[in-house]
Structure 1
Amino acid sequence: MDLLDNTIRPYAWGSTTAIPRLLGTEPTGEPQAEMWMGAHPGAPSRLVRNGTPTSLDIVVGADPENELGKDVTARFGPRLPFLFKVLAAGSPLSLQVHPDLEQARAGFADEEARGIPVDAAHRNYKDANHKPEMICALEPFDGLCGFRDPRRTADLLDALAVSALQPWIDVLRTRPEEEALREVLTGILSADRQAFAATATEVAAAAERVAAAGGPWAEALAAYAGIAHAYPGDPGLVAAMLLNHVRLSPGEALFLGAGVPHAYLSGLGVELMANSDNVLRCGLTPKHVDVPELLRIVRFASGEAEVLRPEPHGDEQVYPAPIDEFRLSRLVLDQAAADGSPVELPTGTPQIVLCTEGRILLTPLDGAADGAALELTAGRSAYLAATDGPVRLTGSGTLFRATVGA
């Protein structure tokens, strides 16, 4: 077992207080957006191995079969297949979508062949992997996830009484679903930004007015009005209104598969994803938006956002996800040990565990020397290799466990 020292990324949308509050540290006054736990080369976790400080990507790369296990190495190659994060959104993130595995491989190969530098601002594919992800709320968490039924979105836009939206309202009401969503999103993203700014401003004012009056769209429109305050005049506001607004309570989660447009708006959560950095943006960002490539990746299908709740599995509570690269579970020690029996951490796969509240002691049960136990308090994390032996958990608190799917 290794205690991890993790990098906190200072993206502009990050909260200035949420991660310090979790860690029990003083805020710096600067945004603290994401704490990365894993072996991603962009910000690998640090640890001490055999008395020497090193990073987790170097440890895994030096002996992948020992660290990951033969099965995981054969399935995903010689790197940790997931990236674990604490995410703290103080303002809305960009509206975005991720490619599937085939699209990522083809897109990466094409950009490599064309000689586009991997750090170029207009580069779409940073690697050849897909990026399915899951977000689980630690505090109330707001986000957007997937297209709403076009006819219901037409009703929402109609409530704003903004005449410039009427052509799109008609399309959403009369065309087949995929055609309607594609045409409206294409129109929004292709519009001249300066010319559309006045419409976006009118839509923002209308959203705030209708939200204040109450009614069935009040909560969603209040969220869209918040987006408008963060991105004044941005046409991405109207694109965001095509999506379901979701409010997660602590312990609830969302799974975001390939092609599903989404955005995180506010709140603190743990995020688990495949080890990739491939993002195509749809709006609410000053960064590059490749409209033709984006429209090729987006899945133009509507549906309600499925809020996930953990399912009991022995001592764990598992968040179901249709993906092999990662598996997210939660252990609440007071509940798991209610009958007085000891709680053991499952082993045999690479894993990262994160304490989000309380105090939890991890004790090896393989005859390790005294003093080998690790204590985790809120915000502290540890890495366990596939070949580490069984570990007993004691104390009181909540532990999130990231590992590989079956």
Structure 2
Amino acid sequence: MDRLTNTVRPYAWGSRTALPTLLGTPPTGEPQAELWMGAHPGAPSTLDRGDGPRPLDTVIAADPEGELGTATVQRFGPALPFLLKLLAAGEPLSLQVHPDLDRARAGFADEEARGVPIDAPHRNYKDANHKPELICALDEFTGLCGFRAPAETARLLAALEVPVLEPLIDVLRSKPEPEALREALTAVLVAPAETIGGTVLATTEALERAATDPGGLGLPEALSSSLGSYAAVGRSFPGDPGVIAALLLNFVRLQPGEALYLGAGVPHAYLSGLGVEILANSDNVVRCGLTPKHVDVPELLRIVDFRSADPGVLHPVPVPGSDGEELYPTPIDEFRLSRYALGGTAPTSRRMPGGAPQILLCTEGAAVLTDESSDQVTLRRGESAFVSAQAVDLLVTAADDAPCTVFRATVSL
């Protein structure tokens, strides 16, 4: 059981205040986008067991079975299979998709065989792993997730009354769903540079007008309430075809404690807010837009899932037989995210199971961790600890009986 020292990633889309507020540190004036907790080689956490700070990936590599447990190593290999983050979006992230495991392996092998440098800006696959992910809101969190039904998108675009969008509306109304979505997204992404800028500008201006009177278009609440957010995307990325592509996607507004699971091939973008994110230990991203970075349209079209779907907002569910654990269910094994509420009107202490690698993150109040040897670590807001598979039993207690929330990230075996 070791306290972690974690790295903040200063991506340009990051909030300047959300992470400092949570961590109780002064703002730097620069964006602070993500706090990484885990063993990803790009920014591994460090811990100190009395011999100085060491990266968590190095610690695990020295004794995989001791740190991760035999079952985890047999199932996932000798590396921590998940990465936990605090994510603070002050501006929209790039519109993107992630490959499934087969495509990640094939794409990585192909780029390796062709000698594409791992840090090349046009490289798609940094590793051979897939990247399913889950985001849980800590405050109001907005994003785009998965395709909306083509008929509903056609209704939205028609209400904007932008003549240049008429061909797109016709496609969405006349073709079968997978064909309509594929053709619409392709048309947007391959549109000539000399015309797409005007299309984006006209559409953004129409969205801004509509957002001043969202009820005036006669759209359902789910569409009318999203107009201001789509307009903000257009203002942030003038001339970017991703602005039009974003209109094909569901807008989602999460309240604190609600979550989204994003599987392979699902186009998505986070727009604003602070959340806890957990993902498979991968950095494979194929972008659709809302970014100056490389957009590989053929590869994108190869992996996108061209089906409409409800975003499927998740709520935590009690784990039967547990001591107050609430789980965010997902269909994959590389990670498992749950939370514990302590203190206040809830019990002051909870017992957590051991036997698997886990990272514990405190997001409210302060938590005291006690293992079977009576060793203790106190976590305050934004602080985290790595618990190796050797821990059999763990007691988590709210400091001073004040309300406390602890997220538990581990594997599902």
Give the structure-1-normalised TM-score. 0.97
Q: Does 1:306 align with 2:312?
A: yes
Deviation at 1:391, TM superposition (A): 1.5
Match of 1:127?
A: 127
Match of 1:373?
A: 376
| Contact preservation (8 Å) 1:212, 1:218 | no
Query: 350, 354, 370: which is aligned to 1:347?
Result: 354
Give CA deviations for 1:113-151 in whole Å, capped at 9, x if unaligned. 000001000000000000000000000000000000000
Q: What is the RMSD computed on CA atoms of the aligned residues?
A: 1.1
Distance of 1:385 and 1:206 partners within structure 2: 54
SS in 1 for 2:12: coil
Match of 2:50?
A: 50
Match of 2:5?
A: 5
Match of 1:284?
A: 290
* 2:411 partner amino acid: V
Distance of 1:323 and 1:79 partners within structure 2: 17
| Contact preservation (8 Å) 2:328, 2:336 | yes
Match of 2:152?
A: 152
Distance of 1:328 and 1:352 partners within structure 2: 10
Give CA deviations for 1:226-250 in whole Å, capped at 9, x if unaligned. 1012111211111000000000000
SS in 1 for 2:135: strand
Distance of 1:221 and 1:3 partners within structure 2: 43
Match of 1:386?
A: 389
Q: Does 1:61 align with 2:61?
A: yes
Deviation at 1:335, TM superposition (A): 7.1
Match of 1:180?
A: 180
Match of 1:249?
A: 255
Query: 291, 295, 305: which is aligned to 2:301?
Result: 295
Match of 2:92?
A: 92
Distance of 1:194 and 1:281 partners within structure 2: 21
Q: 1:312 to 1:336 in 2, by over 3 A?
A: farther
Deviation at 1:337, TM superposition (A): 4.6
Distance of 1:44 and 1:387 partners within structure 2: 21
Query: 405, 409, 412: which is aligned to 1:405?
Result: 412
Match of 2:331?
A: 322
Distance of 1:321 and 1:19 partners within structure 2: 26
| Contact preservation (8 Å) 2:132, 2:264 | yes
Q: 1:169 to 1:111 in 2, by over 3 A?
A: same
Alignment of 1:162-173 (within 5 A): 162-173=162-173
* 2:167 partner amino acid: P
Deviation at 1:334, TM superposition (A): 2.7
| Contact preservation (8 Å) 2:214, 2:227 | no
Structure 1 residues not aligned, in runs of 5+: none
SS in 1 for 2:343: helix
Deviation at 1:51, TM superposition (A): 2.8
Distance of 1:121 and 1:103 partners within structure 2: 19
Distance of 2:240 and 2:179 partners within structure 1: 24
Match of 2:271?
A: 265
SS in 1 for 2:365: strand
Distance of 2:260 and 2:95 partners within structure 1: 16
Distance of 2:142 and 2:385 partners within structure 1: 28
Structure 2 residues not aligned, in runs of 5+: none
Give CA deviations for 1:270-309 in whole Å, capped at 9, x if unaligned. 0000000000000000000000000000010001110000
Deviation at 1:336, TM superposition (A): 8.6
Deviation at 1:195, TM superposition (A): 2.1
Q: Does 1:362 align with 2:376?
A: no
| Contact preservation (8 Å) 2:362, 2:405 | yes
Distance of 1:195 and 1:159 partners within structure 2: 21
Instruction: Work out the number of aligned pairs and report it.
Output: 400
Distance of 1:289 and 1:76 partners within structure 2: 31
Distance of 2:255 and 2:98 partners within structure 1: 25
Give the structure-2-normalised TM-score. 0.95
SS in 2 for 1:91: coil
Distance of 1:77 and 1:90 partners within structure 2: 36
Q: Where does structure 1 differ by over 4 angstroms across 4 or more consecutive aligned residues? A: none
Q: Does 1:225 align with 2:231?
A: yes
Q: 1:53 to 1:336 in 2, by over 3 A?
A: farther
Distance of 2:47 and 2:149 partners within structure 1: 48
Distance of 1:130 and 1:79 partners within structure 2: 15
Q: Does 1:213 align with 2:213?
A: yes
| Contact preservation (8 Å) 2:98, 2:132 | yes
Deviation at 1:112, TM superposition (A): 0.3
The percentage of aligned residue pairs carrying the same residue is 62
| Contact preservation (8 Å) 2:353, 2:392 | no
* 2:330 partner amino acid: A
Match of 1:70?
A: 70
Q: 1:336 to 1:65 in 2, by over 3 A?
A: farther
| Contact preservation (8 Å) 1:282, 1:294 | yes
SS in 2 for 1:143: strand
